[in-house]
């Protein structure tokens, strides 16, 4: 494919950690041409000044956000903005004929009243929001193929949902018993200065936050309810762990059939994800480590059964910035454009 035939792609909000992952992935993607990088506080700066390690590959300047320019120049637009900003831009971008992949929470909710309640943002784009597709390919691949607007899920939701999806879809667990314990590296908090992310604060420490009220909870519950076919509530608790990248989610639930053993569930998980190239179900007795997923778009899943308590324990590990954010958005782009789903996405980590 010649350069003139490539899909023209733009990024609004490229200065953060999610944005720089997108830039890194897209400059090596064989089917796209990165033609626009837009930002607010970073407008006018050379991208190499923000990320010098990319200076030999990215000779672009961050442009002031101008939706007319974006609409004229781009076929596809990625939005890597804080929650509440994308919904002010997307209606114009869609009207101009762009396909949009939003990495914030603005288009992840079927019920915007839920979004408004948790994110405290009134919306004027309800009809458009109703057309958005939840961008978790392993569950909504067919809908993504036909979408113009995709709300890409975040890292905690991705790791959590991939761990429990087969159990809920097959009716193997008592839904109200689902407990999810998530642990994330500090990069999940973004690039802006925050006291709790300082090395002196985070190093040699492990802490829970958003207990009984984290705003990813209703997003997880929305998809769990869709999978189960009825309303589901889960207990979700996130933790900050002193490492830069990665998420490990450990999910617990009571089995409906106490006769199920680990081998049964591994068979079910392997069948459920047989067409999902980025999900790696581990063999008996092998449990995932975040290091295996760092720098890749993979999700590693380990399954165990506690016959004493009749509970299933599922562990999932991802890179929070790749499969949990930007890589997943590129995966959605590949599906949307009819390309090979794995195109341009890393599938093997460097180790250790």
Residues annotated catalytic, as ranges: 155
H-state helical runs in the chain: 17-26, 47-50, 67-73, 86-95, 112-119, 126-129, 137-145, 155-169, 199-202, 217-228, 262-272, 290-293, 327-336
Burial of 301 (0-12, 13-18, 19+ CB in 10 A): buried
Give the count of beta carbons closer than 10 Å to the beta carbon of residue 134.
Answer: 25
Task: Give the gyration radius of the chain's Cα atoms.
Answer: 20
Tokens 């905690």 sit at which residue? 156
3-state secondary structure 28-97: CCCCEEEEEEEECCCCCCEHHHHCHHHCCCCCCECEECCHHHHHHHCCEEEECCCCCCHHHHHHHHHHCC
State how far the Cα of 84 lies from the Cα of 89, in Å rounded to an integer: 10
Give the count of beta carbons closer than 10 Å to the beta carbon of residue 31.
Answer: 17
Pairing verdict, β 247-254 and 179-184:
antiparallel
Instruction: Give the largest Cα separation in the chain, rounded.
Output: 63
State how far the Cα of 227 lies from the Cα of 88, in Å rounded to an integer: 30
Q: Which two tokens stand for residue 165?
A: 């999806």
State how far the Cα of 249 lies from the Cα of 337, in Å rounded to an integer: 31
CA dihedral of 235, 250, 305, 221, whole degrees rounded to 10: 40
């Amino acid at each position: 494919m010649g350069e003139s035939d490539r899909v023209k792609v733009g990024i609004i909000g490229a200065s953060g950690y999610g944005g720089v992952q997108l830039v890194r992935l897209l400059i090596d993607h064989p089917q796209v041409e990165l033609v626009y990088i837009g930002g607010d506080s970073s407008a006018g700066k050379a991208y190499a000044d923000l990320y010098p390690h990319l200076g030999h590959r990215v000779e672009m300047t961050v442009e002031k956000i101008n939706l007319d320019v974006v609409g004229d120049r781009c076929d596809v637009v990625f939005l890597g903005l804080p929650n509440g900003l994308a919904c002010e831009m997307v209606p114009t971008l869609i009207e101009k004929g762009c396909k949009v992949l939003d990495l914030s929470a603005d288009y992840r909710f079927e019920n915007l009243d839920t979004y408004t309640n948790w994110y405290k943002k009134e919306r004027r784009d309800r009809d458009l929001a109703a057309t958005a597709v939840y961008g978790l390919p392993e569950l909504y691949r067919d809908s993504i193929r036909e979408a113009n607007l995709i709300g890409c899920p975040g890292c905690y939701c991705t790791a959590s949902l991939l761990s429990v999806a087969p159990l809920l879809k097959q009716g193997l667990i008592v839904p109200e018993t689902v407990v999810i314990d998530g642990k994330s590296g500090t990069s999940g908090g973004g690039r802006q200065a925050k006291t709790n992310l300082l090395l002196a604060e985070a190093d040699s420490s492990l802490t829970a936050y958003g207990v009984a009220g984290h705003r990813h909870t209703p997003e997880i519950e929305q998809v769990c309810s869709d999978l189960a076919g009825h309303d589901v509530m889960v207990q979700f608790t996130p933790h900050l762990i002193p490492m830069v990248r990665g998420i490990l989610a450990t999910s617990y639930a009571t089995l409906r059939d106490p006769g199920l053993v680990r081998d049964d569930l591994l068979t079910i998980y392997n069948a459920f994800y047989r067409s999902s190239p980025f999900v790696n179900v581990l063999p008996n007795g092998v449990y995932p480590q975040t290091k295996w997923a760092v720098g890749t778009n993979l999700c590693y899943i380990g399954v165990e059964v506690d016959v004493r308590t009749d509970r299933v324990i599922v562990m999932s590990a991802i890179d929070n910035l790749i499969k949990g954010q930007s890589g997943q958005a590129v995966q959605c782009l590949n599906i949307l454009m009819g390309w090979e789903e794995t195109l341009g996405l890393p599938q093997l980590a460097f180790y250790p």
